[in-house]
A and B are shown apart, each in its own frame.
Chain A
Amino acid sequence: MKQVTRILEGVGSVVQLLLRSASYTGTLPRQWSRFIEQCYLIGYTTLPIVAILSFFIGTVLALEAGYAMQDFGAKEFIGSLVGLSMARELGPMMTAVLLAGRVGSAITAELASMKVYQEIDALTTMNISAAKILVLPRLAAVLVMMPVLIVISNIVGWFGGSVVARYVSYVGISPEAYFAALRHFTKFKDVMNGMEKAEVFGFVVVLVCCDIGLNTKGGPREIGAAVTRGVVVSLILILVLDYFVTKILL
């Protein structure tokens, strides 16, 4: 029962934070520099690891697909499998998982340490809303940067698959055939669905991590606990939301 109460409290707190942040949307143009800074942190600094991960996801997909399909003589469909898997599922989900691990943990740690060291209290006494200057720019930045990360993740993942398709002996199909199948089966709608998923995941990760950071109580030890909680809750939410968002989008 206590667990249920805590979960409901958490949901209420996140919704409140969302509403408070949304009420300051009109101030975003004046927070341009904070928004750009967050775009840099969320987008630019996450980009290399997203690219590396996506490349190897693409290669593994092509390897597995090639291995499974060689018996059926359906190797020319590897492109479609890699294309659809990356665009609809693995691109958005793995990018969101990376976001939770890299950006979510950093956000939770920063806000939790601001809370523990009374910087949030200082903001309150100055009548400056933490939702306005700390949460809103991050939410706006993740909404702008997630599609960019997804496009790059998809392109790099597709390219990774083509490298395997071309150079691994038991796969051995030309890049032209690989990309022809990919283009034929992967529609613009699939890419858009993936982006919509990524937007939902990214937004939830940042919102939840901000909330956990801002609600941290205690000393420095609690900062570490808050980071762990932020990442774990984010990962669970990504997987749970994945089912429901996929169901809605299909």
Chain B
Amino acid sequence: MAERAWIRGAQRGSVSDLEALFREHWSRAYRAAYLVVHDAAAAEDIAQEAFLAAVRSLDRFDRRRPFGPWLHRIAVNRAIDWARAAKLRAEAEEQDVAAPERPEADERMLPALATLDPDHRAVIVLRYLLEYTPGEIADLLDLPRGTVNSRLRRGLDKLKERLE
């Protein structure tokens, strides 16, 4: 309910309501983008771009719709695009990179996630960080629900393998 009031206030010009929306949603959008792209600067750009798109579309935004899924849809889809493009760049450039240092036990999640495809990372992040149901993820990513379930299963199996 508060979110609708913030959107209405922001549409009428209230900076404090916009800030409330920003406070509520930025961290999760930024973290979701980071966990897909594994690049802090890119995640910042992606989350920023999603919020700028929200500001530009504010007047047309339907207040009956929840703001979070709309924002996350933009952020996660752009993160997937960025991660795919980065992968292509890496393939094209084939740069030599130094071997990473062995991570601490509590720092294993990020490298383990990095071994997954961007599409698998995205469904894991949407399911377990942003807590969408598989049906909602299917809507957000425009995928069949079965594909979401299989990506979740495969992604979790691979993560488990890496973390054990």
Specify whether A and B are partners: no
A→B interface (CB under 8 Å): none
